[in-house]
Amino acid sequence: MTAGRPATDPTRRDALGLMAASTALALAGCDGPDEFGQPLWSRGRGAPDAASYATVLELDGLGRGVLVHTRAGHAVKVEGNPDHPASLGATDVFAEAAVLSLHDPERSRRVRAGGRPRPEAELEAALAAARETLRATGGQGLRLLTGPVSSPTLRRLIGQVLAAFPGAAWHRHAPLAEDAALDGALAAFGRPVAVVPDLARARAVLCLGADPLGAGPAQIRLARDWSEGRAAGRAAGALPWLCVAGATPGLTAARADRRLALPPAEVTRLARAVATALSVPGLAATAAHPEAGAIAARLRAAGPDALVLAGPGAGPEAHALAHATNAALGSAARRLVPSPLGGEGLDSERLGSERLGGEGKAGESLRDLVSSMAAGTVSHLLVLDADPVGEAPAALGFAAALDRVPFSLHLGPRLDATALAATWHAPLRHPLESWGDSLAFDGTPALCQPATVPLVASARDAAQVLLALLGHSEPEGGPKAGTARAAVRATWAGRWNLPADSAEFAARWEAALERGVAGEAPPALEPTPRPGWDTLRDPPPTDGLVAAFVPDPAVRAGEWAHNAWLRELPQPLTGLAWGNAALLAPATAAALGLRAGDEVMLALEDRRVPAPVLPLPGHAEGVVTLPLGGGRRVGEVAAAGRGFDAGLLRPADGAALAAGLTLHPTGRRAAPPLAPTARGQEEAPRLLAPGGSLAPPPRDASLLPDWPYPGPAWAMAIDLDACIGCNACVLACQAENNVPVVGPAAVAAGRAMHWLRIDRDVLGPAGGPEAAGRDPPATQFRPVPCMHCEQAPCEPACPVNATVHDSEGLNVMVHARCIGTRTCANACPYGVRRFNWEDHRRAVAGALRNPEVSLRPRGVMEKCTYCSHRIAAARAGAAAGDGPAGPARTACQSACPTRAIVFGDLADPDGPVARARRDGRHFLPLGQLGTRPRTSYLARMEGTAPAPPADGAPG
């Protein structure tokens, strides 16, 4: 960044640099100056021309199975693994964005000491010296700090380190860990459990500060289950009932039948009132709430298909109440499993639970570590894939305590704050380059295998560092070859009880690598609430504001802050891109005279930070939502200085909720870029009551002659009743079609290039019989790709015939002919055409680029092609006899967790699109214009079966 420019305003050029994901490998083979990318190499050794590898990508330490598509040995696209229970073939935004992180040109590439590059051999020598020192002292002063770890191999190696060094201890840095859930489970059952909801079965769900459809390691699976449950409900004429009570509206609230905007203390009161109304055994106190009777009646009517879910927006008491209520209802719509982040592989009785801080509450674990560091009892600290200096609450004082540690080694993918503060830094391999293993949210294990050659030569795995600490001799072939793979094989040889050199193990290992799943989920636990479980008490309501620290939809707790795709993605519900804002209720904002983009000084105790505000409909009054992960002080262009850092306010114990927040307008404006989404003509959202249907669209008369379609007629149908607005389709499209990143200034000017956008329609009081007057409005998400109109207004508008109709109904764009008049964009009523205001080709070219899709120069129009290269590949594959199995699938369709998007041949009467068009919910967007769009929608349904009579204690 140029000196003298404020850190919050990098230029477009900086932003373009983020996309310049060109590695030395990619540059090596370019053989012509006329076209970027597309080097013509031989294949690498053993790398087929185009292959897919099953592997696993982690989010918050929990795995989601993916298939990585490679071209000429480069990982270019991530798709879901249909065999993995946390994916079922779909992806989320973080899985899609992983390839950009892999090719990030700002990845850490050198071993460093004190921030300065050093030879690798010096680090090896320093590690060997540290090992000798620790051997002599029994590991006194050795501390391991990791993120959340579900990997059986890493857990095994951590256990070995703790056994070899009796003075060592393991701590965990997990800013998004749900410590309240752990407390609630301990109170209810006396042991930690993880809840695996079955939303396909649930008929009545109460979410207490929970957002099961929102971003998270289980999002893909839960969204799929929810959509299946809803599809079954539509077929049966009785939709499942979903109620969300919480402070911050999320994706679940947007789809809920009842939305109760309540501060955390009220959520707890509602939980207790519902439990009272249901006469849950063991309640130590009762409570009342005006909504509790109706909710309890719904839950009681659903019986075993009822489910109460508590989430990060609720306190420990609400979690315990949710467990007890589920047990009292006999809920079969959830399974309790051992937590994948705790318990297994580490013998706490032998090692001592006080040394296994990584198993317990993350906040306490990190606080214990910092106090020992500050006391000077920590001599060696290993930070494995975590950024505590950047992400831990500033009040904890991690950076100052780190200065007192004589030897600290940070292993991480980027030069983040911890990398610069630690005495040693070594680059970490990206998961797509590594061997490893992981557990899904339900405990299903999977193996992680490299899908590409290592792009950073000096990078290593966490397992390699732990093995070096243990003094294991390196296998033949260099210090890094095969070390992690051998460690993973050893783990699984142990788990499968087979010798690692047996043929049986080899067969099982190959099968696990190919399928992407290494075993079954553990059996469900059947704990019963222990007597006297109701001991926890959440803090009572306070007069001031409550601060809710939540994961940011784009950057989580900050670990994705470097990723330009995620930064530029308009966040669901808020539409924010390239920044964050303090979210609050419109009424709270009005009381303080604040508008969107006004800057306020947030203060919690003696900590203060300025931040822009954004009033959000459906937000609870008395609560301010502060997304974590903004305002990085060091790091890449995409990360540094974007938004405000809520970590500066967070209490030292890492609590998700903190009372006593104050908020003073500063009088300044600090508008974060809001991505304009309403680009096309407005159209009133259509909603259907159960069993209702829309009139079939009239066949309009047109003066233009009809096109003949002798072959297939490609069309798409998008089910708005299934769409949850998760943005996976937008990023899948961006990754598949080489869509460039344009930067915050261009986004604010309405020049974002996403071919597929998601429009948000706020549904008014007419949204449903129960919504009138009481609940905040629901939100409908509407993905808008090109409509591929049969009578496309853009085609006659083009003066040079650069947008033409093909015989299969595709509205195709001839980039080489386009002269950039933009008349087509003016003519398009749907606003789906994008203009290249700048030349982004160099930024997009490189190893990341999908070679199947051409790069567009400056001054031409581009838009959704229905993934015509995938159609062509399916056709060519059919002609050559061994193409991709089955019909062509678009990138957005493959990514969608709820299978809301179907694509196929309209002329096939039994095809998925023709079937969707016969549905009573089908409508053509802006059908009255006579454009005959090939993309059409199925209307959302609102309302459920009539409520059973309220019972229990009405408020």
Partner 1 sequence: MTQIFSRHADSRLRLAAGLGLAAVAFLAVSGFFVARSGAAWQVGVPARQPIPFSHAVHAGQLGLDCRLCHAGVERQAAAGMPTAETCLGCHRQVWNVAAQFAPLRSALALDTPVAWASVSRLPDHVRFHHGAHMAASVPCETCHGQVRTMPQTVRAETLSMQWCLDCHRDPDPRRRPAGAVLARGGVPGDTPPEPLTGLGARRFAHFGVEISALTRCSTCHR
Contacts with partner 1 by CB under 8 A lie at 25, 28-29, 31-32, 34-45, 49-50, 72-73, 453, 705, 707-708, 710-711, 804, 806-808, 810, 812, 814-816, 852-855, 865, 868-869, 872-873, 876, 879-882
As a whole number of angstroms, the distance between CA 896 and CA 720 comes to: 12
Which lies closer to partner 1 via its Cβ, residue 535 or residue 801? 801
Burial of 46 (0-12, 13-18, 19+ CB in 10 A): exposed
How far apart are CB 785 and partner 1 at their closest, in Å? 17
Q: Is-contact 441 152, C-beta < 8 A?
A: no
Q: How far apart are the first and last CA of the chain?
A: 58
Which lies closer to partner 1 via its Cβ, residue 136 or residue 879? 879
How far apart are CB 891 and partner 1 at their closest, in Å? 14
How far apart are CB 894 and partner 1 at their closest, in Å? 19
Tokens of residue 210, six digits: 């929970």
Element (H, E) at 298: helix 292-302
How far apart are CB 70 and partner 1 at their closest, in Å? 13
How far apart are CB 806 and partner 1 at their closest, in Å? 5
As a whole number of angstroms, the distance between CA 647 and CA 634 comes to: 14
Element (H, E) at 940: strand 940-941
As a whole number of angstroms, the distance between CA 666 and CA 669 comes to: 8
How far apart are CB 798 and partner 1 at their closest, in Å? 13
How far apart are CB 66 and partner 1 at their closest, in Å? 24
As a whole number of angstroms, the distance between CA 696 and CA 877 comes to: 37
Which lies closer to partner 1 via its Cβ, residue 49 or residue 543? 49
CB burial string 151-174: b at 16+ within 10 A, e below? bbbbbbbbbebbebbebbbbbbbb
- The residues with which 545 forms a beta bridge, in sequence order, are 661
How far apart are CB 858 and partner 1 at their closest, in Å? 15
- The residues with which 842 forms a beta bridge, in sequence order, are none
How far apart are CB 219 and partner 1 at their closest, in Å? 33
Nearest one of 899, 935, 900, 890 to 77, comparing CA atoms? 890
Which lies closer to partner 1 via its Cβ, residue 3 or residue 28? 28
Which lies closer to partner 1 via its Cβ, residue 871 or residue 941? 871
- DSSP states along 790-841: TT-THHHH-TT--EEE-TTS-EEE-TTT-----HHHHH-TT---EE-SS--H
- DSSP states along 629-677: S--BSSS-TTTBT-S--GGGTS-TT--SEEEEEEEEEEEEE-PPPB---
Which lies closer to partner 1 via its Cβ, residue 44 or residue 829? 44
Q: Is-contact 906 915, C-beta < 8 A?
A: no
> Which residues 6+ apart lie within 8 Å of 312 measured at CB?
176, 178, 180, 181, 209, 210, 550, 656
How far apart are CB 865 and partner 1 at their closest, in Å? 8
How far apart are CB 817 and partner 1 at their closest, in Å? 9
Q: Do the bridges between strand 935-938 and strand 714-719 make them parallel or antiparallel, or are there none, so unpaired?
A: parallel
How far apart are CB 104 and partner 1 at their closest, in Å? 21
Tokens of residue 385, six digits: 């894939």
Amino acid at position 648, single letter? L
Which lies closer to partner 1 via its Cβ, residue 453 or residue 490? 453
Element (H, E) at 600: strand 598-604
Which lies closer to partner 1 via its Cβ, residue 289 or residue 856? 856
Which lies closer to partner 1 via its Cβ, residue 352 or residue 711? 711
Q: Is-contact 579 672, C-beta < 8 A?
A: yes
As a whole number of angstroms, the distance between CA 184 and CA 809 comes to: 56
Which lies closer to partner 1 via its Cβ, residue 29 or residue 471? 29
Element (H, E) at 615: strand 607-615
Query: How many angstroms from the chain centroid is the CA of residue 153?
Result: 24
Which lies closer to partner 1 via its Cβ, residue 25 or residue 493? 25
> Which residues 6+ apart lie within 8 Å of 5 measured at CB?
11
How far apart are CB 455 and partner 1 at their closest, in Å? 12
As a whole number of angstroms, the distance between CA 209 and CA 656 comes to: 11
Which lies closer to partner 1 via its Cβ, residue 190 or residue 711? 711
How far apart are CB 699 and partner 1 at their closest, in Å? 21
Tell me the helices (H) and strands (E) count for the chain, helix number first.
29, 36
Which lies closer to partner 1 via its Cβ, residue 477 or residue 593? 477
Which lies closer to partner 1 via its Cβ, residue 754 or residue 788? 788
How far apart are CB 166 and partner 1 at their closest, in Å? 42
How far apart are CB 41 and partner 1 at their closest, in Å? 4
* Alpha helices (runs of H) in 165-283, residue ranges in sequence order: 179-189, 219-236, 251-254, 264-277
As a whole number of angstroms, the distance between CA 751 and CA 743 comes to: 9
How far apart are CB 46 and partner 1 at their closest, in Å? 9
As a whole number of angstroms, the distance between CA 463 and CA 461 comes to: 5
3 state SS of 234: helix
Which lies closer to partner 1 via its Cβ, residue 210 or residue 715? 715
How far apart are CB 28 and partner 1 at their closest, in Å? 6
Which lies closer to partner 1 via its Cβ, residue 288 or residue 873? 873
Q: What is the CB neighbour count within 10 angstroms for residue 819? A: 12
As a whole number of angstroms, the distance between CA 594 and CA 581 comes to: 13
Which lies closer to partner 1 via its Cβ, residue 267 or residue 855? 855
Burial of 590 (0-12, 13-18, 19+ CB in 10 A): exposed
Which lies closer to partner 1 via its Cβ, residue 28 or residue 503? 28
